[in-house]
Amino acid sequence: MVVTVRKVLREGASRGRDAERVKLKLEINVESVDYDKEGSVLRLRGRTILHNEHLKIGQFHTLEIELHQQFVLRKKVWDSLAVDALQEAVNPAATADLAVLMMQKGYGYESALNKFLENVLQAFLNHVDFNVIHCAVIASSDLTHDRFHKYLLLEAERRQLRTIIENKSRILLVPTTSGYEHSLKEVLDAPTVMNLIKDTKAAKEVRALKEFLT
């Protein structure tokens, strides 16, 4: 079920037909699914099962669900596989096999750079769980990833951050042409990365992501 806005035609006072945009609550029995990667839109096509004054039950309709748009998903039977898949989609980090940190060179004073490295370190500690993932990748197009890696290991020794010290062999450095999202494919092509995740679910997802990015 999705709340959406649709243009409908109404009979005017002069017997003409006026277009008006109204908010509708639409529910369909999904028959096909399509994803538009350019617009980040999920398109669901099926027959309507909820009656309203503008659409009859049984009419074919396409719902477009945008990123972060709320919707209601119903199934007659929720088996364990479906529930697990839904929970994983809601919180992918809980079952992730691979973490990737993409970095890009910037400009600033040394004091600002040190603050930046510390902020990235805190984010790394908060989001990278070595009890779940197989490896973490730090990537950049210059020496930024190398500088952060050195900072990470030095601070881990100084503060006795056991999660970093005990897993430093699982933290990989990968050079890329940029620090932007489109260079993620270069990380996924790195043999050192694939060797660590080759027997995991992430390896299958990497192959699917490569197809998606191309």
Query: What pLDDT shows up at residue 148?
Result: 94
Q: Write b or e for each residue in 43-64: b if 16 or more Cβ atoms lie within 10 A of its Cβ, otherwise e.
A: ebebebeeeeeebeeeeeeebe
Series of mean pLDDT values for 10-residue runs along the chain (214 residues): 70 62 82 86 88 80 85 87 76 70 72 86 93 88 91 96 94 86 79 71 63 62
Query: What pLDDT shows up at residue 35?
Result: 87
Which DSSP string do the residues of 81-106 spell out, in sequence order?
HHHHHHHHHH-GGGG-SEEEEEE---
Classify residue 148 by its DSSP letter. Answer: H
Helix (H, G, I), strand (E, B) or coil at 73: coil
Query: What pLDDT shows up at residue 8?
Result: 67
Of 188, 204, 195, which Cα lies nearest the Cα of 100? 188
Of 206, 176, 184, 208, which Cα lies nearest the Cα of 194? 206
Structural tokens at position 62: 């396409």
Query: Residue 76, exposed/middle/buried by CB under 10 A (0-12, 13-18, 19+)?
Result: exposed
Domains and CATH numbers, the chain: 2-86 (2.30.30.870), 93-213 (3.30.420.60)
In sequence order, the β-bridge partners of residue 11 are 17
Distance CA 188, CA 181 (A): 12
Distance CA 111, CA 103 (A): 18
Backbone angles phi, psi at 189, to 5 degrees: -85, -10
Query: What pLDDT shows up at residue 153?
Result: 96
Distance CA 32, CA 44 (A): 6
